[in-house]
Structure 1
């Protein structure tokens, strides 16, 4: 089984499914293999037709099923110093090198390798395989898939998200909210700053308020929070604006994110910034230039995975892996989207997040074997 899985993984790595590009060829490959095993396969394209989710089902199309989910997209390799071709898998010293081997085509390859067995053992409880697009750019595909499941009134009971956790069970992670805030001011000569509206200056004031909120969030950490760090975080990703020394810049942009441990923190940050813009920044800008503007674009608001007292997914994966400990992590996944549909959810998959997104990304063969063991035992739960 491991050799077959490695061959499938090699095929998957060869599809350069960087988020900026199409994933349709890889989705077609997965669909063909699953259809050959007798699965009911739906390909759900996005509005452009360039991207698609795949949702496949073994067994009856009814509520109460189990979802195995992974994302098909990978991060770029540009400006990374790879020692091998990132889109040609290489095995060396028990490690499988290639973009996406760890994050997270290894898990997808394992589920495809197990598909013939699932076709034989599934009876009353359906097993669904969900492969999404654009997880790396805001979990867009998973959100699209969630809408499709709601429209079909299909309610699986639980989901296992195969992100790299070294086959440890993860029952919680922070949310990931990403924004771009744009400032529209009035250009002018640098010698007369009072006659223009310097968009960069107002962006800096906005950033200063944002960083003050970052410190405030440290005081709002929930008691006994298990996250590391235990509070919601804010990160300033980019501040862009202006061109030359002696021109008042009319445009600026701030890219930023927050990772809330609780919904109230996200609301606190957004409400405080909105009030600051409406009561302080915009009146000052529009006193000089009435058409001045500050607009925030939501890039993504991906819910976190909230630990639950009762969690069938946690219980099942614990039985399958023999692991009794559960963890919380800081990195985000699509798990919260599945949880929002009423499913019990855990994250558990092969490979370490330490290898994800880096040059010479790799997945160890023993991790892939551990994943196959878990997935093979899953057949007893169907």
Structure 2
């Protein structure tokens, strides 16, 4: 099967992160099995989702791992011009949810597996498919736990997120947290006698913005990033039940995306200190006042040196030798940080098309990715 044929099948699986991915994983397993390739399936405890790991070639030595995620972001509220879960090919583009992020790469790696099965590999090829990447690189962690206890780990890893087939050597880390702001409820006609939790939450968001402004003006910078400094962002605020009730609870979901030189936990500590000072202002009249923090998810950044052997290796596979860093996170930081597997990010398409209506990948990018895969195969089977 061609890469485009496989991509058509992959797009048809509506693997939004909140939904199962088992049908897609079963398809990939069967496709590999048809070439005599055995897969390890690592399922979640409830069985709704799974990762896949497969090795082609010798099993007594480390090889090159290709990693891709199988989940996609939702389509609700987006104005698609065609069914997002049915591949549409026109004007040199393949449209569908996940075409760029990142089923195009997954299709190319599965097509490569068929070609690799017919060659004698001196160095093994590892294939890794994960779930729930879009919600914080959650699913890949069980695969990492499996690899931690494996007798042999991959020698290096290529994460195929869309980079227009340029080598990305790094991305920021991420800490996602929730601030729960506690006030005192009351009738809105007597609002000054209550403590409005939404107002307290807004005060905290003000603190968040002050920290962001300070970092942007005075913090460490990494010019390889489009936004060259650590960013703080409030994404969701939830509180209140009725207009005539002063709310006693409000939550703020926020994130810290840190460059390698900044420690996200230290930034969080400073935010918590300032939040405690905010609360202290109200504690005399309202002892119940509080802002409590919970870290919801975190993953490390990736900072592979530009002169690392993996960079030189991948440069032999692609047409553009330049390197850069991407704004979005990947499982690459976990592979590098937890398993010490040198990792870069390189895949077809552009994230400019990701997460949008009428997401697409250019057909010439798919073809270039297939050429990269063929060069990789030649390196593994000299």
Query: Which TM bucket (shorter chain)?
Result: over 0.9
One of 56, 59, 63 as aligned partner of 2:57: 59
- 1:88-128: CA deviation from partner (whole Å, max 9, x where unpaired): 10111111111111111111111111112212335342211
> How far apart, in 2, do the equivalents of 1:49 and 1:288 lie?
51
- 1:314-342: CA deviation from partner (whole Å, max 9, x where unpaired): 11211011322111121222211111121
Partner of 2:251: 253
One of 241, 245, 252 as aligned partner of 2:239: 241
Do 1:185 and 1:285's aligned partners in 2 also have CA atoms closer than 8 Å?
no
- 1:259-283: CA deviation from partner (whole Å, max 9, x where unpaired): 11125341332111222234x2444
Do 1:138 and 1:299's aligned partners in 2 also have CA atoms closer than 8 Å?
no
> How far apart, in 1, do the equivalents of 2:229 and 2:309 lie?
27
Partner of 1:345: 343
Flag the 1:124–1:266 CA change in 2: closer, same or farther, 3 A.
same
One of 107, 116, 119 as aligned partner of 1:118: 116
1:332 paired to 2:329: yes
> How far apart, in 2, do the equivalents of 1:76 and 1:230 lie?
29
Partner of 2:138: 140
> How far apart, in 1, do the equivalents of 2:336 and 2:308 lie?
11
> How far apart, in 2, do the equivalents of 1:263 and 1:41 lie?
39
Could you tell me the TM-score, scaled by structure 1's length?
0.93
- 1:34-62: CA deviation from partner (whole Å, max 9, x where unpaired): 12222231111123221111111112334
Flag the 1:186–1:223 CA change in 2: closer, same or farther, 3 A.
closer
Flag the 1:364–1:223 CA change in 2: closer, same or farther, 3 A.
closer
Partner of 2:7: 9
- Aligned residue runs from structure 1 range 267-346, under 5 A: 267-278=265-276, 280-284=277-281, 286-288=283-285, 290=287, 292-340=289-337, 341-346=339-344
Flag the 1:268–1:61 CA change in 2: closer, same or farther, 3 A.
same
Partner of 1:377: 375
Flag the 1:357–1:260 CA change in 2: closer, same or farther, 3 A.
same
Q: CA deviation at 1:83?
A: 1.0
Do 2:166 and 2:321's aligned partners in 1 also have CA atoms closer than 8 Å?
no
> How far apart, in 2, do the equivalents of 1:197 and 1:171 lie?
48
- Aligned residue runs from structure 1 range 11-160, under 5 A: 11-160=9-158
Matched position secondary structure for 1:259: strand
- 1:206-264: CA deviation from partner (whole Å, max 9, x where unpaired): 11111111012124543663222211111221222223333210110112122111253
Runs of 4+ in 1 over 6 A off after TM superposition: none
Aligned length: 379
Q: CA deviation at 1:86?
A: 0.7
Q: CA deviation at 1:31?
A: 0.7
Do 2:225 and 2:324's aligned partners in 1 also have CA atoms closer than 8 Å?
no
Q: CA deviation at 1:29?
A: 0.5
1:172 paired to 2:170: yes
Q: CA deviation at 1:188?
A: 1.3
Flag the 1:76–1:255 CA change in 2: closer, same or farther, 3 A.
same
Flag the 1:46–1:292 CA change in 2: closer, same or farther, 3 A.
farther
- Aligned residue runs from structure 1 range 152-231, under 5 A: 152-193=150-191, 195-222=193-220, 225-231=223-229
Matched position secondary structure for 2:316: helix
Q: CA RMSD in A?
A: 2.0
> How far apart, in 1, do the equivalents of 2:166 and 2:184 lie?
54
Do 1:158 and 1:312's aligned partners in 2 also have CA atoms closer than 8 Å?
no
> How far apart, in 2, do the equivalents of 1:33 and 1:175 lie?
34
Flag the 1:153–1:217 CA change in 2: closer, same or farther, 3 A.
farther
Matched position secondary structure for 2:223: coil
- Structure 1 unaligned spans of 5+: none
Do 1:73 and 1:134's aligned partners in 2 also have CA atoms closer than 8 Å?
yes
- 258-267 or 75-84: bigger deviation: 258-267
